[in-house]
């Protein structure tokens, strides 16, 4: 799948088809935003800068406000912006009340007693699961291949490291790598193999809550489905020292490949666990 969503490319070629709709992303910086910050994003993401929201050539735009970076849908009056916020909102709530090391995600990666594994989250997305794992003590490399999602994540992390409460934790335990994880894992030196590799690929019909639905819809418009997830699982199984964990909707079949050894299910989600024991 073509993952270049740049308006510059779209202006000279036919628009890129992602699922059913063509996606064209521009970038809009608020007047008071530092010009070098905006210019850096334009160059890095190869997006066309616009000055008004109502620009019909684009389906989405990245909105750089003085506070944060947001992804917005052009035509939708109802959909709110997509952005990463580890300091407040759902992430903060889950950090305080999410069940600590007893929650299913923690059990899935093998957080027991004092053990805090090193994790490569090879489908970082908006970094939610990776952040939860970091809060529970894991050191997490977040690998994301979509340049736009990676930009949102980078922005969320840069605000989080400045927060007095979680800044130190985020700075010490979370690291973002913008890359395709299949390549990242294949180039990883053996001395850096992680204890756990975590996969949460996009799945065609998942989770129904209104909030997640909105975010998933935006993510899906931008990224499509991760049809190459079985390849990612195959290479992950050769790189994880202890286990590979795959998050799936509860009723979905496991990813194509070897059968998971065991599963941990919650009402909507299931974690498929593949012990590796390469250490």
Ligand X SMILES: C[S@@+](CC[C@H](N)C(=O)[O-])C[C@H]1O[C@@H](n2cnc3c(N)ncnc32)[C@H](O)[C@@H]1O
Binding site for ligand X (CB under 6 A): 122-123, 125-129, 143-146, 149, 180-182, 200-202, 223, 226, 232
Q: How far is the CB of 60 from ligand X (least distance, A)?
A: 15
Residue of this chain nearest to ligand X (CB atom): 125
Q: How far is the CB of 279 from ligand X (least distance, A)?
A: 24
Q: How far is the CB of 198 from ligand X (least distance, A)?
A: 8
Q: Classify the phi-psi angles of 191: left when phi > 0, otherwise alpha if psi is within -120 to 50, otherwise beta.
A: alpha
Q: How far is the CB of 199 from ligand X (least distance, A)?
A: 8
- Please say which residue, 29 or 72, places its beta carbon nearer to ligand X: 72
DSSP class per residue in the chain: -----BHHHHHHSPPPEETTEE--EEEEE-TTS-HHHHHHHHHHHT-EEES-S--TT-SEEEEE-SS-EEEEESS-SS---B---SSSHHHHHHHHHS-GGGSHHHHHHT--TT---EEEESS-TTSHHHHHHHHTT-EEEEEE--HHHHHHHHHHHHHHTT-TTTHHHHHHHEEEEES-HHHHHHH--GGG--SEEEE----SS----HHHHHHHHHHHHHH---TTHHHHHHHHHHH-SSEEEEEEETTSPPPSSSPPSEEEE-SSEEEEEEE----
- Please say which residue, 29 or 83, places its beta carbon nearer to ligand X: 83
- Please say which residue, 10 or 229, places its beta carbon nearer to ligand X: 229
Residue 10 has φ and ψ, to the nearest 5°, of: -65, -30
Q: How far is the CB of 140 from ligand X (least distance, A)?
A: 11
- Please say which residue, 41 or 232, places its beta carbon nearer to ligand X: 232
- Please say which residue, 73 or 200, places its beta carbon nearer to ligand X: 200
Q: How far is the CB of 213 from ligand X (least distance, A)?
A: 13
Whole-angstrom distance, CA of residue 18 vs CA of residue 101: 38
Q: What six digits make up the tokens of 233? A: 């699982």
- Please say which residue, 29 or 198, places its beta carbon nearer to ligand X: 198
Q: How far is the CB of 246 from ligand X (least distance, A)?
A: 11
- Please say which residue, 29 or 131, places its beta carbon nearer to ligand X: 131
């Amino acid at each position: 799948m073509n993952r270049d969503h740049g308006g510059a490319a779209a202006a000279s070629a036919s628009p890129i088809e992602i699922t059913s709709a063509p996606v064209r992303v521009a970038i809009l910086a608020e007047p008071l935003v530092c010009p070098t910050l905006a210019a850096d994003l334009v160059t890095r993401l190869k997006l066309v800068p616009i000055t008004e929201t109502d620009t019909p050539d684009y389906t989405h735009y990245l909105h750089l406000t003085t506070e944060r970076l947001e992804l917005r849908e052009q035509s939708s009056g109802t959909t709110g912006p997509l952005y990463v916020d580890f300091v407040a909102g759902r992430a903060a709530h889950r950090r305080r009340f999410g069940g600590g090391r007893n929650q299913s995600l923690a059990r899935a990666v093998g957080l027991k007693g004092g053990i805090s594994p090193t994790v490569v989250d090879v489908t970082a997305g908006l970094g939610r699961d990776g952040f939860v794992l970091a809060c529970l003590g894991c050191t997490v490399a977040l690998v994301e291949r979509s340049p736009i999602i990676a930009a949102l994540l980078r922005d969320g992390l840069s605000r989080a490291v400045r927060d007095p409460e979680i800044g130190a934790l985020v700075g010490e335990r979370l690291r973002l790598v913008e890359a395709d994880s299949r390549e990242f894992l294949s180039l990883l030196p053996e001395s850096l193999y992680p204890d756990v590799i975590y996969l949460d690929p996009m799945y065609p019909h998942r989770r129904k809550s209104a909030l997640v639905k909105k975010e998933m819809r935006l993510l899906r418009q931008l990224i499509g489905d991760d049809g190459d997830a079985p390849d990612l699982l195959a290479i992950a199984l050769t790189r994880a020292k202890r286990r590979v964990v795959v998050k799936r909707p509860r009723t979905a079949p496991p990813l194509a490949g070897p059968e998971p050894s065991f599963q941990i299910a919650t009402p909507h989600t299931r974690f498929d666990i593949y012990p590796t024991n390469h250490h």
